[in-house]
Chain A
């Protein structure tokens, strides 16, 4: 159970002033990015990457993890106050949260959201911690053959769950894999797709791919829209699917402490619902792709199904806010599991996080359990501590919270562009990376503009090297017969099943929203 490591890392985190300070800085940043529609947690992670270059592995990972853990809590604020969800999961909160605001219960909805997301985040982290001893022998039994198939499975999962078109998801995933082959071939040492450029021999940096595919398109899009308060297409689709009117107006709301406490009390009264949703979603979070936007909708769906009054949902039922918010935050811990132990990101946010981990020198895989268990536990505790800090900050700032999320796009765009480009330069010290971002960022905007998912590209870039190395090792050890190993057959079955699930879902209109 690594109890000694578990508690020593907690003690280390709590007694190291710079780590506590960094978490206290990361949390309000996460709240800010989450609460500003049009920005979101992925962009927040991308923007913070240049700041962690010189940090040691633990400090950098804890900083990013703390920020990422509270993004969804921040995301509930505009969903509830102005009915503008920044992303798919936040749209589930908007259903009942915004209806409560219209009934004059904004503070209660916010209190319920803060309480549920904090407890959800804590229970998700506990789930991850308790599942480690059970999963340890399974993870350690994985060989290169299984890691190759896991890489393929990861791309398939993300592609099937990344939007309306599996074809587009697969093409983008394969494009990411292809880009991962840029550089020196591991078996022959000869350059591939380098076009005579020496700086390409090191390959395409994951950081460059992340910044180009996420930061640049988001900023161009924000500049085109001109406002940060536009509802995202996924969120709009999710709200329309549920029959909810899209919000028309924005404005600040007054919130009192008494209302906030009433909402927190509501969470305590729905303790079994919170527990069920947390465990359900933390378990789902382990599955790559499903750990993204779908998780909060599944939690919301479970809340409606298990309620004695399903007719009240969508009209301002506090349990709807509690279920959706618990789901949004509990999934983070679950999606950390495949990210850390298999190098297969659980969600697009985790794909960016994985890129940052690699940059920090943290190599995901089974060795995380044997050689770096201290980092694993530190990240689990970072999830717990950041959720607690977040709850304290949000409750304390409740009366002023109505003003959050009103950042001006014109101020954000130049800063994000300069620091995103700085991040691309700093990683390898190549100015040519800036030109690469120009090309790939333009392609990324075209993807965004025409509904092509971008997450499979990042996952392809990350998994490409793992897939190639694992395949070469597997063929070297077993030859082509590695496909017939028992775990390999299970993984092949899962790949086929995920494609089958997609076909089934396309034939039948699904309740699960897409996730780019």
Chain B
């Protein structure tokens, strides 16, 4: 399996490589600075990748740590997806409660209290007091119009 440190360097090479290639499609004035920054970036990240490939294998992470990383990424994706689909007022409190029950192993009434607090902050402080309109969510907008 590809080591993480090599993966990061490879990602940087791909990003800079792609940016340099894209820059050539812009007008000369528009591509001037992206090329000045992108070409050294590509060279440096390629050098870093070579260094990582030649280096000794790093310390392997423990399987349980890897599992926890995967779980946390799954939660992060769930938070973003939930907020995009159902908005802050609906998904925010639900996600906080769900995280506390399933990941934090907290008691249900603690999770419920935290969810109510989240809703109170989002609705009370942001929507009412500060007058900031919160995102309703793509599905919520579709259902409620």
Chain A residues within CB distance 8 Å of chain B: 50-51, 53-54, 165, 167-168, 170-171, 174-175, 177-178, 181, 185, 187-188, 190, 192-193, 216, 219-220, 223-224, 226, 408, 410-411, 413-415, 417-418, 421-422, 425-426, 429, 431, 434-435, 437-438, 441-443, 445-447, 449-450, 452, 467-468, 471
Contacts and interface: CB of A to CB of B under 8 A. Distances in A.
A415 B8 CA distance: 28
Given A177-B37, A187-B29, A415 B73 contact: no
Interface in B16-30: 16, 19, 22-23, 26-27, 29-30
Contacts of B15: 175, 178
B72 A223 contact: yes
A72 B92 CA distance: 31
A193 B33 CA distance: 13
A220 B33 contact: no
A201 B30 CA distance: 14
15 contacts: A167-B47, A168-B48, A185-B27, A187-B30, A192-B23, A223-B68, A411-B100, A411-B104, A413-B75, A418-B95, A422-B126, A426-B132, A431-B84, A441-B76, A446-B4
Given A178-B34, A192-B26, A224 B77 contact: no
A418 B133 CA distance: 15
Given A175-B12, A178-B37, A410-B99, 13 more contacts: A50-B126, A167-B44, A171-B44, A175-B15, A175-B41, A193-B34, A219-B72, A410-B100, A410-B103, A413-B75, A422-B92, A422-B134, A442-B76
Contact of A192 (B34, B51, B75): B34
A442 B77 CA distance: 10
Question: What 5 pairs between A and B have smallest CB-CB spacing?
Answer: A410-B104, A174-B41, A185-B30, A223-B72, A414-B99
A108 to B, nearest CB: 37
B135 interface: yes
Nearest to A475: B32
A423 B40 CA distance: 33
Contacts of B126: 50, 422, 426
Given A50-B126, A442-B73, A414 B100 contact: yes
B53 interface: no
Which secondary structure dominates chain B's binding surface?
helix
Given A193-B19, A224-B72, A171 B26 contact: no
Contacts of A410: 99-100, 103-106
A411 B75 contact: no
A425 B41 contact: no
A188 B30 contact: yes
Contact of B30 (A192, A431, A446): A192
A465 B135 CA distance: 29
A418 B96 contact: yes
A408 B69 CA distance: 18
Interface residues of B, number: 61
A239 B126 CA distance: 42
Contacts of B116: none
Contacts of B12: 171, 175
A174 B40 contact: yes
Interface of B: 4-5, 7-8, 11-12, 15-16, 19, 22-23, 26-27, 29-30, 33-34, 37-38, 40-41, 44-45, 47-48, 51, 65, 68-69, 71-73, 75-77, 79-80, 83-84, 88, 92, 95-96, 99-100, 103-106, 114, 118, 122, 125-126, 130-135, 138
B18 to A, nearest CB: 9
A415 B118 CA distance: 8
A188 B71 CA distance: 45
Contacts of B95: 414, 417-418
Contacts of A442: 73, 76
B69 A220 contact: yes
A449 B3 CA distance: 12
B88 A425 contact: yes
B35 to A, nearest CB: 10
Nearest to B69: A224
Nearest to B97: A414
A421 B131 CA distance: 18
A178 B41 contact: yes
A413 B99 contact: yes
A181 B37 CA distance: 10
Contact of B103 (A53, A223, A449): A223
Counting chain A CB atoms within 10 Å of each CB, the highest count among B65, B104, B114 belongs to B104
A375 to B, nearest CB: 22
B65 A450 contact: no
Contacts of B125: 51
A113 B52 CA distance: 42
B111 to A, nearest CB: 10
B13 to A, nearest CB: 10
A177 B44 CA distance: 14
B22 to A, nearest CB: 6
Contacts of A51: 125, 130
Contact of A431 (B8, B130, B138): B138
Given A174-B41, A185-B29, A442-B73, A434 B80 contact: yes
A435 B84 contact: yes
A446 B132 contact: no
A421 B80 contact: yes
B68 A226 contact: yes
B112 to A, nearest CB: 13
Nearest to A216: B76
